[in-house]
Structure 1
Amino acid sequence: MPVATLSLFRFTAPMSRLWVIGQMALARRALRQDSRLRFFKLCGSGTGEGFTPRPNWQVWAIVAVWASEKAARDAVSDSPVWQRWRARAREVWTVFLDPLSVRGSWSGVSPFLGESGRSEAVSGPVAALTRATLRPSRALRFWQRVPDISSAIGKNPDVLFKIGVGEMPLLHQVTFSIWPDSTTMAAFARAKGPHAEAIRAVREGNWFAEELYARFRILGSEGLWGGTDPLADKLAEREAA
């Protein structure tokens, strides 16, 4: 089964920040030559935790799908792109993701599992990824909603990690969040509030030209983000159980 990765890189030195902007074009060429790689996207981020339209020139991401977990772990270790980015970054953190369900498409394809997905019980942390291409005529309405949604997630005591990234400012957006288990993630999705209201507005207003919703089991993580591994304790608890 394919395995996905989300790798986050924090570049603090001015020259490194300029360098990674160039990598948005140059790294694509090298990644296309990696036979282990099934799909990839290079992303920037917004300020704060990424949920704003103002670019954060320090935080960048690589979303990738690999043929297997071994291929994913090997590549994060030995891929020339990861090695070059890691050498210049102040912090690097990668989370390994086992796709469970997916609905929709990303750049015209379903990169994780195909439309059917897998149906199985999962224990421990799970992740949700949403990706959307905004219709330009609806972008302002979308960004007016984002601060309330971000605040709702941030105030939720259950969320373990969240970040917003994107391929193109304003129009191509990815949200990624990690939850202790499927129950707490589902409870947030169903709860009344800014998130539910935004989903309803999206459906009624046809805001998105393309959208994808995916759910993952967490296989592991490596590296540091904000000086720590955001999942280390939760994954240790799962192993001990």
Structure 2
Amino acid sequence: MQTVTISFFRFDGVANRVWALAMMGAARLSLARIAGLEFWKLCGSGSDEGFTPKPNTGVYAILCAWTDLDVARSALAQASVFARYRSRSSEHWTLVLSALSSRGQWSGKEPFRASAHDGGAGPIAALTRATIKPAVAMRFWKRVPDISRVIGADPNVLFKIGIGEVPLLHQVTFSIWPDADSMAGFARQDGPHARAIRAVREGKWFSEELYARFRIIDQHGSWSGARPIATKMETT
């Protein structure tokens, strides 16, 4: 069964932040050589709650899709590129995921394969990814602060961050919810988020988009000094 991981790294100090920025290019060579890694993306993050076009030079993410769980665990533990990130970062947190659904494409590919079952109750991660057409980028980002405030005020959100490959044009949102119902409730409610989705659909603002949902099965490390969620493995 395909396994997806997303690793977040926090970097302190100018030297470590410069190193992390340089690795947005240099790490590509190392990741491309890892056996069993089917798809990967190196991402920076936005400032504040992450859902802004202003970059946060201290937080980066690596998203990977692996052939199976054993390959993922072995590579994360032994591949030198991940070891270098851990050694330079002040904090790191990795989530191990299984796709429940995936619709759309990323860089012309369908990167995530959904499992045959949902794996039972537990937290749900939502990932949305889009390539924004340059002509409408400013209109899109004008809506983002209102959406960010709504997400931040929702008591059900366990974790949220905005990441991306290219500032302004390649946008990824990643959020974690206690269950599918709370996530669906947020998506259905009227407000800035729903109005932005309608504007995107009516104006065809995206040249490529992807929507995926994941079951969280494990985690390693911490974020902001704690583990934001309890995973399936920790509660069984």
2:92 — aligned with what?
A: 92
Partner Cα separation in structure 2 for residue 237 and residue 30 of structure 1:
32
2:150 — aligned with what?
A: 152
**TM-score, reference length from structure 2:** 0.96
2:160 — aligned with what?
A: 162
1:19 — aligned with what?
A: 19
Offset of 1:49 from its aligned partner? Answer: 2.2
Contact preservation (8 Å) 2:43, 2:163: yes
Offset of 1:159 from its aligned partner? Answer: 0.8
Partner Cα separation in structure 1 for residue 183 and residue 143 of structure 2:
20
Structure 1 stretches of 4+ moved >6 Å:
none
Root mean square deviation, CA, Å: 1.5
Partner Cα separation in structure 2 for residue 231 and residue 81 of structure 1:
26
Aligned length: 236
Partner Cα separation in structure 2 for residue 48 and residue 103 of structure 1:
29
Query: What SS does the corresponding residue of 2:141 show, helix, strand or coil?
Result: helix
**Is there any run of 5+ residues in structure 1 with no aligned partner, and where?**
none
Contact preservation (8 Å) 2:44, 2:56: yes
Query: What SS does the corresponding residue of 1:48 show, helix, strand or coil?
Result: coil
Offset of 1:148 from its aligned partner? Answer: 1.0
Contact preservation (8 Å) 1:124, 1:238: no
Partner Cα separation in structure 1 for residue 107 and residue 120 of structure 2:
28
Contact preservation (8 Å) 1:122, 1:182: no
Letter in 2 for 1:108: G
Offset of 1:144 from its aligned partner? Answer: 0.8
Q: Write the mapping of 1:27-46 to structure 2, written as runs, cut at 5 A.
A: 27-46=27-46
Query: What SS does the corresponding residue of 1:168 show, helix, strand or coil?
Result: coil
Partner Cα separation in structure 2 for residue 154 and residue 72 of structure 1:
31
Residues 24 and 121 of structure 1: CA distance in aligned 2, closer, same or farther (over 3 Å): closer
Residues 33 and 236 of structure 1: CA distance in aligned 2, closer, same or farther (over 3 Å): closer
Query: What SS does the corresponding residue of 1:34 show, helix, strand or coil?
Result: coil
Offset of 1:196 from its aligned partner? Answer: 0.8
Identify the match of residue 227 of structure 1 among 213, 216, 225: 225
Query: What SS does the corresponding residue of 2:121 show, helix, strand or coil?
Result: coil
Query: What SS does the corresponding residue of 1:4 show, helix, strand or coil?
Result: strand
Offset of 1:39 from its aligned partner? Answer: 0.4
Offset of 1:150 from its aligned partner? Answer: 1.0
Residues 97 and 121 of structure 1: CA distance in aligned 2, closer, same or farther (over 3 Å): closer
Percent of aligned positions with the same letter in both sequences? Answer: 55
Give yes or no for the alignment of 1:65 onto 2:68. no
Query: What SS does the corresponding residue of 2:29 show, helix, strand or coil?
Result: helix
2:170 — aligned with what?
A: 172
Offset of 1:118 from its aligned partner? Answer: 4.4
Query: What SS does the corresponding residue of 1:133 show, helix, strand or coil?
Result: strand
2:202 — aligned with what?
A: 204
Partner Cα separation in structure 2 for residue 162 and residue 30 of structure 1:
28
**TM-score, reference length from structure 1:** 0.94
**Is there any run of 5+ residues in structure 2 with no aligned partner, and where?**
none
Partner Cα separation in structure 2 for residue 73 and residue 151 of structure 1:
36
